[in-house]
Amino acid sequence: MFTKLARFGVGLMATVLAGTTFALAETSATPAANTVAQASPAPKATANPFSYKGYVRAYDFTRQNASGGLNGAGKSAWPGPNQQSFNAALSLHGEYKFDGGFSVGASYLYANPLTSCDSAASHFSPPCGRNAPPNLNPDDTLPGFTMNTLYEGYLAYNNAQTGAKVGYQVFNSPWANASDSRLKPVSFLGGDLTYKFNKAWSGELGYFSQFEDRASSQFFNSTLLTYNPVDAPGCSSLVATKGCGPLSMLTNGGFLYAKVGYTGPKSAPFTANGYFYGFSNIANVFWLDARYPFAGKLKPFIAAQFGTESNAGSSQVGIISSQVFGLQGGVSFTPNISATLGFDTIPSKTANVTLPAGVACSGSNTLPNNVGAAPYFLPAGGTPQCVAGPVVNGLNTATVYYGGWASPYTDSYATDPLFTTSISQGMADRRAFGSAGKLAVTFLSDDKRFMAMVSRGLYAYGNSSVGVSPTQETDFDTMYYFSKMPKSGPYHGFFLRYRYAERTQNFTYSGGLPLFKYNRFQAEYDF
């Protein structure tokens, strides 16, 4: 415990000292001109074409992975030990604007856990990992090792109507986003073009061939579903038959992206967006979202989302056929307190299959991992997958249940756009059909420097035909900003954030009541 506190104290001191250093390094004001110069009209200031920003960020993560002891004794679904990691990072971003709307920019990050276990390879064996004393493994979703990466390097163009960017860049859209919940954001290699047709309508078109996940220092021609990065260890069982890891990934061509957006006038403030994703050799996705705020003291709003997805190309993660329907509503009880209630549902699909020799749909209504028993994108995390059928010609048959949403760039990250996704999981992360609901209440102080949110999510993964795996999650998220919040633009200064997630899962058929607890403490200075 002392070592853990000492590490965090060092990281916190580094954060404060770095913030002080950058504050002192800012250019001082230009001395006043002489008396003669003041007699003439003052020339207009020329904007500095170079700008910079960045942050120093320190995290401490702890994960309790089961209620059955450090090693999950008696919990076959949760065999691993608990986890803990500390890491601190410095991120720098610079941009230079040329005349005519062009600019170049770059972002660099260096992270170091301030321990002797600072390499990824060291985490595969004691004393740094793999059940290292005292039965703790590192939490490499943070990750718990050193990173050193130039994650952005781009050329951009902007005017009042058109925007374009090409190169390595942080990109944000519903199903391919920055996922910036750790030390650094996800980034992509490609190009993006935006165009404003008028005040109401806009369009966007992009293509991205590679991406760098949140715990990597290099870009890959793959996805979170087709290789096994340390921060999302869960590629599909179908892919696992062909090898699933950084050295045995399935490569693909990235994704094509298109968007059309509508923003209504103030008299009818309806907004809606339509998206298309062509995930190479995985799936084609059509996604719609809309929101309408009503007039009234409670500031009510209603929002909706709908998506449809089907496998495409060589179907690297299996046959996909999924639809998502979601609704969300919200009110502000006071200027400080607001609440939202969301609901999502994903219908199931079925198929009758003959299983490979020696493979059977088990008593827990699941198929063996890593055998690719059925060529479908199947649920994960204990959600029932099949119902056993008769033996035909010496081979077992089964009805498989699928229909879950495949998300190549947010899988296992819990950063997708579903209304019901929580801190540690959601329907896309479980790749499951079923239904979910989530209630969230938020408090914001008058000076906007303190925020607290508590939420409760209820998930019914599966259905009555194959079985249901009920899951519940309670989350707590709070932030405090030490400096005054700006009226516009980014925040500069020190802030603290603490997030807590507690999840219980009742695997109806496999038994047990695993309890998962996640603590995330963040200290950051933005400059």
- Both structure tokens of 524: 């950051």
C-alpha closest to that of 499 among 184, 142, 217? 142
- The whole-number pLDDT of residue 43 equals 62
Mean pLDDT lowest for which of 197-211, 305-319, 422-436, 512-526? 512-526
Say which residue, 24 or 387, is predicted with more confidence.
Answer: 387
Secondary structure class of 8 (helix, strand, coil) = helix
Write down the mean pLDDT value for the chain: 86
- Confidence band of 121 (pLDDT split at 50, 70, 90): confident
C-alpha closest to that of 347 among 318, 328, 373, 324? 324
Contact criterion met (CB below 8 Å) for 383 and 428: no
Residue 443 has pLDDT above 50, yes or no: yes
- Say how far apart CA 17 and CA 26 lie, in whole Å: 15
Sign of the torsion angle spanned by Cα atoms 411, 415, 416, 418: positive
- Both structure tokens of 371: 């055998």
Say which residue, 27 or 249, is predicted with more confidence.
Answer: 249
C-alpha closest to that of 406 among 245, 185, 258, 236? 236
Per DSSP (E only), the strands in 312-348 are: 321-332, 337-346
Mean of pLDDT values over 501-517: 71
Q: State the Cα torsion 527-171-419-66 to the nearest 10°.
A: -70
Question: DSSP class of residue 42?
Answer: P
- Say how far apart CA 102 and CA 80 lie, in whole Å: 51
- Both structure tokens of 220: 């890959």
Residue 39 has pLDDT above 70, yes or no: no
Residue 425 has pLDDT above 80, yes or no: yes
Residue 63 has pLDDT above 80, yes or no: yes
Residue type, 435: S
- Say how far apart CA 172 and CA 179 lie, in whole Å: 9
- The whole-number pLDDT of residue 259 equals 98
- Confidence band of 22 (pLDDT split at 50, 70, 90): very low
Q: Domain spans of the chain?
A: 2-21+48-526
Residue 1 has pLDDT above 60, yes or no: no
- The whole-number pLDDT of residue 62 equals 94
- Cis omega (within 30 of 0) for bond into 127: yes
- Both structure tokens of 116: 């002797």
Contact criterion met (CB below 8 Å) for 20 and 12: no
Mean of pLDDT values over 260-265: 97
Contact criterion met (CB below 8 Å) for 224 and 410: yes
By DSSP bridging, strand 434-444 and strand 450-463 are antiparallel
C-alpha closest to that of 419 among 348, 340, 472, 474? 340
Q: Tokens 């954001």 map to which residue?
A: 185
Q: For residue range 391-400, what is the model confidence (pLDDT) as tens digits?
A: 999 999 999 9
C-alpha closest to that of 112 among 86, 149, 151? 86
- Confidence band of 513 (pLDDT split at 50, 70, 90): low
Find all residues with CB under 8 Å of 496, minimum gap 6, and list them. 479, 480, 521, 522, 523, 524
Q: How many helices (H) and strands (E) does the chain have?
A: 4, 22
Secondary structure class of 430 (helix, strand, coil) = helix
| Chain centroid offset of residue 199 CA | 31
Q: For residue range 271-317, what is the model confidence (pLDDT) as tens digits?
A: 999 999 999 999 999 999 999 999 999 999 999 999 999 999 999 99
Q: For residue range 449-502, what is the model confidence (pLDDT) as tens digits?
A: 999 999 999 999 999 999 998 999 999 999 999 999 999 999 999 999 999 999
pTM for the predicted model, two decimal places: 0.87
Question: How does DSSP assign 445-507, residue by residue?
Answer: -TTS-EEEEEEEEEEEEEETTTEEEEEEEEEEEEEEESSPPPSSS---EEEEEEEEEEEEE--
Secondary structure class of 293 (helix, strand, coil) = strand
Where does 2-21+48-526 sit in CATH, by number?
2.40.160.10
Contact criterion met (CB below 8 Å) for 58 and 15: yes
C-alpha closest to that of 192 among 259, 106, 100, 251? 259
- The whole-number pLDDT of residue 205 equals 98
- Both structure tokens of 130: 């793999």
